[in-house]
């Protein structure tokens, strides 16, 4: 193809880490505009580290571009203001604040008039947040906090949504609900999703493209459907 659409997020030779050593050994990947890209791997493979690296929360080397614009080395708040929302590991709830204040914080950088309408949309996606609107966010259940974290991220009106293990620690029914909402959001809102998951089966169902991380390296990449059908990959890396 001569006229290929450039990816929304393009990462090349990315190294990232916390102390003096690198967790990521220089990885390449891309997130296409308008789809779901899954990043799979076992515990400690570097999935969370990758998301943190993309939004400038840790030390990095290499190149990260968002819609052609380099963002490597920039401050987290500046990257967020370019339209990158992050549903972090541990959900990042502002425990002491109310559900309403948590949601208002999601839209705190916005100056447009659409915020009120977006609040209504979040209530439609997550009716439970409306019931709990005035409640202290620390009193929500795990599933409700996950919904709040997603709502907070969507209220930024992001172009790119980074999701760190949305299924973690939740009952299967709630996980299904959350993945259903993710699919809706992808279809109805113009947002691309980079999804980190340990539950590979679940992630490959919703994803278009997938990458498999093993101890800081990408070992497999390709269309999600192909990976799902490849017995040997499934057996050796995904364990199902």
**Which residues of the shown chain bind other proteins in the complex (CB under 8 A)?**
55, 57, 75-77, 80-81, 85-86, 88, 92-97, 101, 104-106, 108-109, 136, 138-142, 152, 156
Min separation Cβ 81 and other proteins, Å: 5
**Hey, what are 46's tokens?**
């570097």
Q: How far apart are CA 184 and CA 35, in angstroms?
A: 12
Q: Which is nearer to other proteins, 170 or 227 (CB)?
A: 170
Q: By C-beta, is 96 or 112 nearer to other proteins?
A: 96
Nearest Cα neighbor of 160 from 65, 14, 34, 47 is 34
User: Please, what is the minimum distance in Å from the beta carbon of residue 164 to other proteins?
Assistant: 11
Decide whether 164 or 197 has the Cβ nearer to other proteins: 164
Measured from the CB of residue 64, what is the shortest distance to other proteins in angstroms?
16
13: left (phi over 0), alpha (psi -120 to 50) or beta: left
Smaller CB separation from other proteins, 57 or 67: 57
Instruction: Confirm if 126 and 147 have CB atoms less than 8 A apart.
Output: yes
Query: 44-60 burial, b if ≥16 CB within 10 A, otherwise e?
Result: ebbbbbbbbbbbbbbeb
3-state secondary structure of 97: coil
């Amino acid at each position: 193809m001569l006229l290929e659409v450039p990816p929304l997020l393009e990462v090349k030779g990315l190294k990232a880490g916390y102390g003096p050593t690198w967790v990521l050994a220089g990885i390449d990947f891309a997130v296409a505009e308008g789809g779901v890209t899954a990043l799979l791997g076992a515990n400690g493979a570097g999935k969370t580290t990758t998301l943190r690296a993309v939004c400038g929360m840790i030390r990095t080397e290499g190149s990260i571009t968002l819609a052609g614009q380099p963002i490597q080395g920039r401050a987290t708040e500046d990257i967020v203001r370019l339209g990158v929302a992050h549903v972090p590991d541990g959900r990042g709830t502002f425990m002491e604040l109310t559900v309403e204040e948590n949601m208002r914080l999601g839209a705190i950088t916005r100056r447009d008039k659409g915020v009120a309408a977006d609040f209504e949309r979040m209530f439609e996606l997550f009716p439970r947040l409306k019931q709990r609107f005035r409640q202290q966010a620390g009193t929500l259940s795990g599933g409700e906090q996950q919904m709040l974290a997603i709502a907070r991220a969507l209220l930024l009106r992001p172009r790119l949504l980074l999701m760190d293990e949305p299924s973690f620690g939740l009952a299967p029914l709630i996980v299904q609900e959350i993945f259903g909402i993710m699919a809706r959001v992808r279809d109805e809102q113009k947002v691309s999703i980079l999804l980190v998951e340990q539950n590979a089966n679940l992630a490959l169902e919703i994803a278009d493209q997938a990458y498999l991380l093993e101890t800081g390296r990408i070992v497999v990449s390709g269309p999600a459907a192909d990976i799902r059908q490849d017995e040997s990959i499934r057996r050796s890396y995904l364990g199902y």
